[in-house]
Amino acid sequence: MQRIVFPKNFLWGVATSSYQIEGAWKEDGKGESIWDRFTHIPGKIANGDTGDVACDHYHLYREDVKLLKELGVKTYRLSISWPRVFPEGKGSPNKAGMEFYINLIKLLVDNGIKPAVTLYHWDLPQKLQDIGGWANKAVIDYYEQYAEYVFKELGSMVPIWITHNEPWVVSFEGNWQGVIAPGITDFSTALLVSHNLLVSHGRAVRLYRKMGFKGEIGITLNLVPMYPASQSEEDIEAAKRGDGFYNRWFLDPIFKGAYPSDMLEWYSQRVVVPEITREDLEIINTPIDFLGVNYYSSGHVKAEPGIWPLDAINVPTGRDKTDSGWEINPQGLYDLLVRLHKDYKGIKIMITENGAAFNDIINREGNIEDDCRLDYLYRHFVEAHRAIQDGVNLKGYYVWSFLDNFEWADGYTKRFGLVYVDYATQKRILKRSGRWYREVIKNNGF
């Protein structure tokens, strides 16, 4: 077996997000988020689960940082809960909420772990949803005010910033499919939300630079390489639309200063497309230091007239699947990275999420021998390494996730962690994949 060695200083990490692990949903002055509201509506989440307690990280963060240290990660990606810091979304900050993040980040820094902080990982203050949420341009101003306060408080300690996590999911799952908060089902609203999210991203990047910090700032996109199901002209065109929908709709304005014209035309013929000004595009096109890539699976697209919104469907290829039902395609990661490198001029990339849900079982010795997850990570690491060998500027890799946690509409039914969480007792157990990852980090390869 060939030895895989990553470049020196490669940033190995793990990732989480505020709502998925913190709990303490109404403690120390925290305001209600759209996820607090959504999860309390019967029928929205598997088993009626909520993030009210989650992994209780708000109270157990000291123990969790110890675990991170034991894992040996170089960096830890977390997100800030906006309503913990601004209960109303705007106005006066809640000092106690900010204090939690100051303490957590100080502890990480003291332990030699680089914090990577996401400003927005889906938990919008409900008060802002009450005025239209991301479909209301005023929310961009409030986001900028929130970002300014967070930069001021944490900017000197945090070297890596991410403006948004997965704006595709926020826009389309939250505002068209309605399967996540805020649960709206209108395609034009989803498009408007996607545009406003991108403008807010550009505004935060400009603000960060204006405030004079020396760290790096980027955005995290969930990207899905799209393959045609056959070599027919129709399937090739359908896969191109799939690529436009998931990938280029976000990548092109950020890196090229323009939305893809084929998608603009496609949408304008079918729905109301948001007004897009030259100034908006310039803001979105503000240079960033890195692109965060979340990769889980690939798409295999077949033309299917009449299927909204792309006249296309995704077809199974027969590959193995994770517990989330997502096909496992490590080579898709390689293809995606190489394509990003080529189409977006050698941009610096960090994999900000990659990982898998599997049904973990505690054995008679109290261990979790999660071979499937280990194998998933192994095969994706091999492909990431191959991409680096082929010239891709990949600098870091965050496994999703550090802990088992609240998996949105799936509640606690899907476990992604390197660390098992017994939700009844809040006991943490490092899984075999976690023990293996610790060795990968130590050896900078395997």
Q: Closer CB to ligand IFM, residue 64 or residue 407? A: 407
Q: What are the residues facing 220 on neighbouring strands?
A: 165, 292
| 8 Å CB contact between 147 and 139 | no
Q: Does 280 bind ligand IFM (CB under 6 A)?
A: no
| Number of residues forming the site for ligand IFM (CB under 6 A) | 8
| Shortest distance in whole angstroms from residue 152 CB to ligand IFM | 26
Q: Closer CB to ligand IFM, residue 266 or residue 376? A: 376
Active site residue 99: no
Q: Closer CB to ligand IFM, residue 180 or residue 192? A: 180
Q: Pick from 294, 314, 354, 433 the residue near ligand IFM by CB under 6 A.
A: 294
Residue 321 is classified by DSSP as B
Q: Closer CB to ligand IFM, residue 152 or residue 321? A: 321
Distance of alpha carbon 51 from alpha carbon 122, whole angstroms = 13
Q: Pick from 10, 17, 55, 239 the residue near ligand IFM by CB under 6 A.
A: 17
| Shortest distance in whole angstroms from residue 400 CB to ligand IFM | 5
| Shortest distance in whole angstroms from residue 411 CB to ligand IFM | 12
Closest residue by Cα to residue 322 from 280, 380, 254: 380
Q: CA torsion angle for 397, 399, 403, 409 (degrees, to 10)?
A: 120
| 8 Å CB contact between 190 and 181 | no
Q: Within positions 163 to 182, which residues make up the interface with ligand IFM, using CB under 6 A?
A: 166
Given 32, 153, 166, 216, which residue is catalytic? 166
Distance of alpha carbon 372 from alpha carbon 358, whole angstroms = 7
| Shortest distance in whole angstroms from residue 216 CB to ligand IFM | 21
Active site residue 153: no
Distance of alpha carbon 81 from alpha carbon 249, whole angstroms = 26
Binding to ligand IFM by CB under 6 A, coded x per residue (else -) over 328-357, reads: -------------------------x----
Helix, strand, coil percentages, rounded to 5, for the chain: 45, 15, 40
List strands edge to edge, sheet with 299-303. 226-228, 299-303, 312-314
Distance of alpha carbon 191 from alpha carbon 175, whole angstroms = 9
Q: Which residues contact 305 (CB under 8 A, 6 or more apart)?
A: 311
Q: Closer CB to ligand IFM, residue 243 or residue 323? A: 323
Given 153, 173, 327, 353, which residue is catalytic? 353
Q: Pick from 400, 402, 436, 437 the residue near ligand IFM by CB under 6 A.
A: 400
Q: Closer CB to ligand IFM, residue 78 or residue 263? A: 78
Q: Which spans of this chain sit near ligand IFM (rule: CB under 6 A)?
A: 17, 20, 166, 294, 353, 400, 407, 416
Q: Could you give the residue numbers annotated as active site?
A: 166, 353
